[in-house]
Amino acid sequence: MIIKVCGMREAENIRQVEKTGLDWMGFIFYPRSARFVGSVPACLPSEVKRVGVFVDEPLSGIKKNIENFRLDKVQLHGNESPEFCRELRGIGVKIIKAFPVKDRFPVEQVLRYEGKCDYFLFDTQTPGYGGSGKKFNWSSLSEYRGETPFLLSGGISPGDAEEILAFSHPRFAGVDLNSGFEDAPAQKNISLLQTFIEKIRQK
């Protein structure tokens, strides 16, 4: 199972989090986020994949941050079109397209992106872009019958390891962890992360 820890910014915290056993580390380039990364931290991960998170950012801005942060993957949370995803994918990065989910799974919307992204990410629908700390109804994902693997996001907390291990879907690839593991925005609690990841990895 892929474990992504998102919303990183502080150099020492980045260094500590990289030792917890995660696979991907996310950096948020959305200025309105409390976890916005305005400049390159003094430390960047060397062993795990780097993911840049964007919301309706122009292609030029995304490319600049791909270069500055040496990003492996780009996660798109806005109204980016399937064609935009395909174009960005063509420059050599993996694309993760995020979709907000409330009561009903957005089948028609998601299907438009099949074959144009490497992963999907299903997050809790909020008035803004993520960060609600609340879960959506995971059972609604039974409506997803596409071929693209996906990550679960939205309100995952340290107490959810057993529920995640029990969750089953043929395209379920991993989890995205953020505010539920923080002492403050962009400051992850290493002990909570370590314990959670060990529980997930033991299966």
CA distances from 82 to 16, 33, 87, 117, 118 (A): 36, 24, 9, 8, 12
Residues acting as catalytic residues: 6, 123
Residues of 156-177 as b/e, b for ≥16 C-beta within 10 angstroms?
beeebbeebeeeeeeebbbbbb
Distance CA 134, CA 193 (A): 18
Distance CA 199, CA 203 (A): 8
Dihedral over alpha carbons 32, 141, 182, 19 (to 10 degrees): -110
